[in-house]
Amino acid sequence: MSGSFLAPALALVGEYLLVLGLSPLLLAVLRRVKARTQGRIGPPLLQPYRDLWKWMGKDGIYASSASWITRYAPAISFAALLAAVPLVPWFVLPTPLGPFGDLILLVGLLGLSRFVIALAALDGGSTFGGMGSSREMWMGALAEPVFLLVIFAFGSPAGSTQAGAIAARGVALGIAYANPPLLLAIVAYVLLLLVETGRLPVDNPATHLELTMVHEAMVLEYTGRDLALIEWGRGFKLAIMFGLLIALAAPWGISTSGTLLLVGLAVGIVVGKLLGAHVLVGRLEARVAKWRLFRVADLLTLAAVFAFGSLALAYVIGGGA
């Protein structure tokens, strides 16, 4: 490649285009798969784009009791998620920004985005907002330590919490990267992902039923541009979580050389993997019912157990050998 500065910049722009542009489509695929599995036709694939476009053209409406927190929260939450995108290796290694942040920062950014929205939900003063943020923060408080443990489980063989370093080790090892500790870490991550992104056994993103909603209860007060930012951010948070899973669990296909052809191929592969992951979650969502809220703790306990078990096994048979 020509410039040492130009290529990473281009890759970074490419990553943002990929994640921001494609995540509504991926969400639509997920909804479509879920609908088809349940015998419905489902919304058209461009529906999330249309929704976003419609909301973008409208101003927000705020309650008279709301303060500046309500106004700025969607933007802050969206910005935190934006900052998390380059922390995940999408299709080129090393990651374009290099060692500018690791997965612990990613956990922090996701936590910030969650916290700001919960704060805004309290700010409006509505009952639902308080209920939703209480539930969300309870889940978040349980999920974050588990997330860190899962990251350590993935990172300990590579000796790093940089997603780029972990994925680079996976690409270099090839198929030998797959071992029992990795399998355990993947299971733990998938359980965590369902909680972190609020998918079905934990929270139903398609419902506005008072008793069960978690995330929806928090954003009930929002409309217009603010809602667009929140929904878009939610869509690509899902893409980030899946992208991280792909990079950590099955990094094969991420391009390590700079030639344009290989990078193009890597983009195709990562889009295919993302699509596959969304289809899988769509099918899962069609099959399971929402759990009682307090069973979420069971799910996260199991995730923690798997992550810890992964570390224990890595100590015996994995990384060291």
The structure tokens 């990613």 sit at 106
User: Applying CB under 8 A, which part among 64-72, 77-85, 221-229, 310-318 lies near other proteins?
Assistant: 310-318
DSSP state of 92: B
Chosen residue from 45, 104, 302, 319 binding other proteins by CB under 8 A: 302
Q: Is 309 in the site for other proteins (CB under 8 A)?
A: yes
The answer to whether residues 93 and 168 touch, using CB atoms and an 8 Å cutoff, is: yes
Q: Tell me the torsion sign for CA atoms 124, 125, 126, 127.
A: positive
Q: Half-sphere exposure of 320 toward its Cβ, with a 13 Å CA cutoff?
A: 7
The answer to whether residues 60 and 222 touch, using CB atoms and an 8 Å cutoff, is: yes
Q: Is 287 in the site for other proteins (CB under 8 A)?
A: no
25-54 footprint of other proteins as x/- string (CB under 8 A): ------------------------------
Q: Which one, 218 or 248, has the nearer CB to other proteins?
A: 248
Q: How far is the CB of 313 from other proteins (least distance, A)?
A: 7
- Coil vs helix vs strand at 156: coil
Q: How far is the CB of 250 from other proteins (least distance, A)?
A: 13
Q: How many residues does the chain have?
A: 321
Q: How many Cβ atoms from other residues are within 10 Å of residue 158's Cβ? A: 20
Q: How far is the CB of 142 from other proteins (least distance, A)?
A: 11
- What is the DSSP secondary-structure string of 241-274? HHHHHHHHH--TT-B-S--HHHHHHHHHHHHHHH
- Coil vs helix vs strand at 115: helix
Q: Is 317 in the site for other proteins (CB under 8 A)?
A: yes
Q: Is 284 in the site for other proteins (CB under 8 A)?
A: no
Number of residues that bind other proteins (CB under 8 A): 24
Q: Which one, 25 or 190, has the nearer CB to other proteins?
A: 190
Kindly identify the residues of this chain, within the stretch 158-187, that bind other proteins according to CB under 8 A: 175-176, 178-181, 183-184, 187
Binding site for other proteins (CB under 8 A): 175-176, 178-181, 183-184, 187, 295, 297-298, 301-302, 305-306, 308-309, 312-313, 315-317, 321
